[in-house]
Amino acid sequence: MVFLDTVGTIFTAAVFGPWYGALTGGLTNVLQGIISGPKIIPFALVNIAVGIIVGFIARKKEFTLPVSLGTGLLLAVVAPLIGTPIAVYVFGGITGDFNDVFYTWLVQSGQKIFTAAFLPRIASNIVDKIVSCVAVSFLIKRLPEVFTKGIKENA
């Protein structure tokens, strides 16, 4: 499943740097929490980490297709490592998305709650974070060079 919920954070981090990416990611969850309920706010830690990781990678290397693929794989592991404990603590592992089907199956087959919550998140994040990073790399490639050059010099 592809959520694409971090595309804005990834784009901001890749273009403007890690701190703007972290701010974008964190504020996204705070605003979402105000709109849909405060239980989503702790997941800001995931988006802050996404912003920082992408921002630092993009500072070191141009956010090309190969770099975006590697970044997506890295995020596919880091995001669930941060998000799973939050999901288990705040929601008991069930967060209301398609991962709950696999979570329930894994718990019923004897897996511990953390493992049952973590494994489906890794699988879905591999697709989601890679697609998100690749989409951002294509967007950046299409930005006028004068725009990205000025931003990179000021980062």
Is 119 within the bounds of a domain?
Answer: no
Bigger pLDDT: 146 vs 105:
105
Q: Which domain holds residue 75?
A: 7-92+127-154
In the chain, at which residue ranges do the beta strands (DSSP E only) sit? none
pLDDT tier, 143 (very low <50, low <70, confident <90, very high otherwise):
confident
Is 113 within the bounds of a domain?
Answer: no
Is 108 within the bounds of a domain?
Answer: no
**pLDDT, average across residues 128-142:** 96
Average pLDDT over all residues of the chain: 91
The percent of residues above 70 in pLDDT, for the chain, comes to 92
121 three-class SS: helix
Is 115 within the bounds of a domain?
Answer: no
pLDDT tier, 152 (very low <50, low <70, confident <90, very high otherwise):
low
Is 66 within the bounds of a domain?
Answer: yes
- Going by C-beta distance under 8 Å and a sequence separation of 6 or more, which residues neighbour residue 118? 80, 81, 84
Of 50, 33, 51, 49, which is closest to residue 41 (Cα–Cα)? Answer: 33
Is 41 within the bounds of a domain?
Answer: yes
Q: Based on the structure, what is the number of domains in the chain?
A: 1
Q: Which residue has tokens 């998100």? A: 132
Q: pLDDT tens, 22-31?
A: 999 999 999 9
Name the burial class of residue 100, with classes exposed (0-12), middle (13-18) and buried (19+) by CB atoms within 10 angstroms of its CB: middle
The percent of residues above 90 in pLDDT, for the chain, comes to 80
Q: pLDDT tens, 36-82?
A: 999 999 999 999 999 999 999 999 999 999 999 999 999 999 999 99
What whole-number distance in Å separates Cα of residue 144 and Cα of residue 155? Answer: 17
Give the pair of three-digit tokens for residue 18.
């890690």
How big is the CA angle at 55 (ends 146 and 1), to the nearest 5 degrees? 105
Query: What is the Cα 99 distance to its own chain's centre?
Result: 16
Is 98 within the bounds of a domain?
Answer: no
Is 142 within the bounds of a domain?
Answer: yes
Evaluate if residue 4 carries a pLDDT over 90.
no
pLDDT value at residue 13: 97
